[in-house]
Structure 1
Amino acid sequence: MKSIAVIPARYASTRFPGKPLALLGGKPVIQHVYERAQKARQIDEVCIATDDERILEAAARFGGKAVLTDASHLSGTDRCAEVALQYPEGSLIVNIQGDEPFIDPAQIDLVVAPLMGNDPADISTLVVRLRDAEALHNPNVVKAVKSATGQALYFSRSPIPYLRGVPAEQWMEQGVFFKHLGIYGFQRSVLLEVAQLPPGHYEQMESLEQLRWLEAGYRIHIGTTRTETVGIDTPEDLEAAERLWNESN
């Protein structure tokens, strides 16, 4: 059983063009992600999936493996599926966001574990407990609820679960909420299947791709991490990441 970590990396970005090649601590953001993925114990191979020659060339300069994928893909999942077709030996595929240079290798291992064993999950992902009331009510922060056995019940941009009879300003004091982190592990066959699914009803309502998979009946295992991720979506995020990098090095 071989595990392949795929890092989708687009050059074009409305809020931050060229983000994967932006320098953090003197190295491209995508290089940080690649090197951390290599440190995960459950990952056998790492590959960058990009639509731009500049990212391909940057990967070659730092010794990373990268492939050029179709520029028309609408999601990182589709880009990962194309790479999976090129790696028939990869039975497990992990989709790691290319804009999270501080991702903990242990988090990647947490995603891989449920895909193995006697009763493996179809798909796996992670959540971290929400501690910020503003984030709870921010539609850009995706929330998740799971069963007692770790199976995903729903994902939403709204605060879930809803605390009936409790004023919204008291929700953080009286409830437990989880933020979804954008890392996914797939059985190879499942990845190729979900990449062919039409958009789902709930997906179109919430603009959340993972709801397509739930609606289609796939089992998504949710693991819990205590480590918050630091994503880079804007130049301002990069400045904050640079400060964090300087503090930790």
Structure 2
Amino acid sequence: MSFTVLIPARLASTRLPRKPLADIGGVPMVVRVAQRAAASGAKAVVVAADAAEIVDACAAHGISALLTRQDHPTGSDRLAEACEQLGLDGADIVVNVQGDEPLIAPGLIDACAVLLSDRRECVMSTAAHPISDVAEWRNPNVVKLVCTAGAKALYFSRAPIPCWRDATGDDALPSPAPWRHIGIYAYQAGFLRQFPGLEQSPLERIESLEQLRVLWHGEQIAVHLSNERPGPGVDTPEDLQKVRDLVAREGAGGH
């Protein structure tokens, strides 16, 4: 089983401008993500960038990168173009590692790729971990999901699902614990290339969750259920400082 990691990266970011090039321990963030991904079992790790500046930064650190169009509306569109440029299609497995996850565990990347390889009836796989905090469960910025008995996604939502009808108080969590979605995806490359052309789902527009388009069109998503919480991602300047502090404590060469 072989797979390719693709990392979408774009300079435009409203909350953290020029995010892919943000310095973390002397290394641009997107490079650090790629270095973590390279520690997985991937046969190749490629950054799909929207700017030559990102490609150049990757090249300076020995990271493969390709230039994609600047007008892609989503990361999935950018990765679809990257698949085309790389000649990936059909049942080839592509793992989408977000460019703002500089502490991602290589083992999580492997787990998603292996799961999709084993579950060929699914066009995608993703991951989740149990929620232990009520505030996190109720936070609309935290995406939750519910699954079948066979660990396939039934639904993703920003709402606290499952709704606990018989809750004993506002500070209680359902048992078993609800699942928090981890934003990593493995795709069959053929499906990824088709995805941008699929009609948008009304649910996707309401929840602002692109993965709901997959379920709405009747496709299946396998879910790797992990007990481990991933390292923090970077969306804001505060997140960036938190990751910088973690890397400084662990050593700048911690990839």
Alignment TM-score > 0.5, same fold: yes
Alpha-carbon RMSD across the aligned residues, in angstroms, is 1.5
Distance in 2 between residues matched to 1:194 and 1:167, nearest whole Å: 42
Residue 49 of structure 2 is matched in structure 1 by 50
Alignment of 1:65-214 (within 5 A): 65-89=64-88, 91-117=92-118, 119-167=120-168, 169-172=170-173, 174-214=175-215
**Consecutive unaligned residues in structure 2, runs of 5 or more:** none
**Consecutive unaligned residues in structure 1, runs of 5 or more:** none
Alignment of 1:18-29 (within 5 A): 18-29=18-29
- For these two proteins, the number of residue pairs brought into alignment is 248
Which residue identity is paired with 1:32?
A: R
Deviations 1:113-143 (A, max 9, x none): 1221474521000001112221111111100
Distance in 2 between residues matched to 1:49 and 1:168, nearest whole Å: 46
Secondary structure at the aligned position of 1:227 is classed as coil
CA contact (8 A) 1:163 1:175 kept: no
Alpha-carbon spacing, 1:53–1:168, altered in 2? closer, same or farther (3 Å):
farther
Structure 1 stretches of at least 4 aligned residues deviating more than 3 Å after TM superposition: 117-120
Kindly, what percent of the aligned residue pairs are identical?
39
1:54 deviates by 1.1
Select between 67-76 and 83-92 the one with higher mean Cα deviation: 83-92
Distance in 2 between residues matched to 1:248 and 1:55, nearest whole Å: 26
CA contact (8 A) 1:114 1:121 kept: no
Alpha-carbon spacing, 1:65–1:171, altered in 2? closer, same or farther (3 Å):
same
Distance in 2 between residues matched to 1:188 and 1:9, nearest whole Å: 19
1:167 deviates by 4.5
Deviations 1:193-230 (A, max 9, x none): 21211210110111100000000011100102213231
Which residue identity is paired with 2:7?
A: I
Distance in 2 between residues matched to 1:175 and 1:49, nearest whole Å: 39
Secondary structure at the aligned position of 2:80 is classed as helix
Alpha-carbon spacing, 1:78–1:168, altered in 2? closer, same or farther (3 Å):
farther
Distance in 1 between residues matched to 2:5 and 2:33, nearest whole Å: 11
Which residue identity is paired with 1:77?
A: S
- Residues 1:3 and 2:3 are matched in the alignment: yes
1:246 deviates by 2.0
Alpha-carbon spacing, 1:118–1:49, altered in 2? closer, same or farther (3 Å):
closer
